[in-house]
Amino acid sequence: MGHPVVHAAAYPDKPAVIMAGSGETVTYRQLDERSNQCAHLFRSLGLKHGDTVALCLDNRPEFFDLVWGAQRAGLIYVAISCRLTASEMDYILNDSGSTALFASTYLGATLDQLQSPVKRFILGGEHAGWTSYADAVATMPTTPIADERAGTDMLYSSGTTGQPKGVRFPLPEDPDIASPNALSGLAAMAFKFSSNSIYLSPAPLYHAAPLRWCIAVHRLGGTVVVMEKFDPEAALAAIEKYKINASQWVPTHFARMLKLPEDVRNSYDVSSLETAVHAAAPCPIPIKEAMIEWWGPVLREYYAGTEGQGITFISSEEWLTHKGSVGRPLNAVMHICDENGDDVEVGQEGTVFFESENVFSYHNDEEKTRNATNKHGWTTLGDVGRLDEEGYLYLTDRKSFMIISGGVNIYPQEIENHLVTHPKVRDVAVIGGPHDEMGEEVIAVVQPLDMTEAGDSLRDELTAYAREKLSGIKIPRRIDFREELPRHDTGKLYKRLLRDEYWAEKKA
């Protein structure tokens, strides 16, 4: 338990990071020295305890140099998705109050479209108008800064208006950079992570779960193996090559690996796996059954949010007798509440609330913070579910209309707000419809101004229009036309009716 500085002293040549594709390796000594250089760079920029920096990077080893540098400089660090548009990135940079942005050449033309007045550092090459990160950090000392203090992340979760909101935590009360961390404790207790873990991270590091679990493994002194980009067969090859014993996934990864030809799947040795953690989206029962049959009872599922107010856990053995459950709470009391915020009877559905001492707020959004808290002081992610008599949680609905595609949360309102401004659109509803591989796909149901124009030509026009303002993950994969959408006289859209239609088609 601790920090890379502790492990660098104990086993300096042990790999802290291995890039699965290239094999590039960073030892604990190197991670310690490189994160020290980052901390000095932050101080040279005038950054003090509690200031904010942003990272927008593809999966690369320097991601950890920057994160651990921020951790030991007492900074708030914001990880931004590489898939966002420049305007979406600008919003997060400005909202978070970031002073500096560390981005990679992977972003291409997006780099030139950014308007936010941040100090700009480029990784992975050169870019006009940007300072070379490699050159800037190379001149910095490899020894610790004089005023080390523990920092923390602020990761963004979309809000009710479609604009993302930062989930902000206070800096750790204990300023010691090597003080125990709650997530590391959970990783060791529930997920069996340890200093012996060789942990495969197949997802983008800018997402909350991959980033936080990688950091937890580093705190424990294990080795993190990072895939540059997920590929189902490459993931199996990495498990065999590096003798992976711990890992973290989303259900889409499982679906894609299961769709490989059986002879390909069986050609890789996955017997080293002891723990395969999964979360981020509901896992279809048949997929989880098939994975347990293939990999053995190594799947360990949890339910939690970026907000960090609580976590549930279920092992494979428990799940096989409670299929569909996401487990029981580990560090909170779970409540299922009615509209008044009071507990319902066991087995009844309601809104899922966590009773927990963990405190968070939505940055610059007091109303959203207030709306997530009920009269008892319990907090919710907005999901609907039920508890059985043994205290196992079953999620029966999602956050209000949120779409989860490939483990990524997509909020429809931002898409609707853009499409409805198209001159040929009268009304629009965006919902999540069933998709065999991604879990859900984005569907736009459009009421045209003139129904005679409904057809492929208008579909192409609307798709092109969406691409002007929205990142790729938010582009509707299907556009259907209706003469009228189901709205109440008050203007309320009965989106649930639409969503139920599409999911009923799937069951038919």
Predicted confidence at residue 485, as pLDDT, reads 87
Average pLDDT over every residue of 187-201: 92
pLDDT > 80? residue 253: yes
For residue 496, the domain's CATH number is 3.30.300.30
Residue 367: band (very low, low, confident or very high) from pLDDT cuts 50, 70, 90: confident
In 10 A of CB 209, how many CB atoms? 21
Residue 255, both tokens: 């679906």
Q: Considering its fold, how many domains does the chain have in total?
A: 3
pLDDT > 90? residue 402: no
Exposed / middle / buried, residue 296 (Cβ in 10 Å: 0-12, 13-18, 19+): middle
Residue 289: band (very low, low, confident or very high) from pLDDT cuts 50, 70, 90: very high
Decide: 349 and 355 in contact? Cβ < 8 Å: no
Average pLDDT over every residue of 251-260: 86
Write out the DSSP string of 34-85.
HHHHHHHHHHHTT--TT-EEEEE--S-THHHHHHHHHHHBT-EEEE--TTS-
Residue 160: band (very low, low, confident or very high) from pLDDT cuts 50, 70, 90: very low
pLDDT single digits (tens) 15-38: 999 999 999 999 999 999 999 999
The contacts of residue 127 (CB under 8 Å, 6+ apart) are: 105, 111
Q: Indicate whether 452 and 501 sit together in one domain.
A: yes
Last residue of a domain, one of 121, 153, 172: 172
- Domain span holding position 460: 403-507
Helices (H), 355-434: 366-371, 412-419
Q: Indicate whether 447 and 326 sit together in one domain.
A: no
Last residue of a domain, one of 172, 202, 234: 172
Q: What is d(CA 212, CA 206) in angstroms, rounded to the nearest whole number?
A: 10
- Is 209 part of a structural domain of the chain? no
Lowest mean pLDDT among 59-63, 251-255, 336-340, 345-349: 251-255
Q: Give the pTM.
A: 0.82
pLDDT single digits (tens) 161-170: 457 788 888 8
Q: Indicate whether 32 and 116 sit together in one domain.
A: yes
Last residue of a domain, one of 151, 172, 193: 172
pLDDT single digits (tens) 78-104: 999 988 889 989 999 999 999 999 999
Q: Indicate whether 421 and 386 sit together in one domain.
A: no
Predicted confidence at residue 416, as pLDDT, reads 85
Predicted confidence at residue 187, as pLDDT, reads 83
Directed axis angle between helix 456-469 and helix 412-419, to 10°?
120
- Is 212 part of a structural domain of the chain? no
Q: Indicate whether 61 and 151 sit together in one domain.
A: yes
Q: What is d(CA 111, CA 104) in angstroms, rounded to the nearest whole number?
A: 9
Decide: 213 and 201 in contact? Cβ < 8 Å: yes
pLDDT single digits (tens) 432-463: 999 988 889 999 999 998 999 999 999 999 99
Q: Indicate whether 33 and 168 sit together in one domain.
A: yes
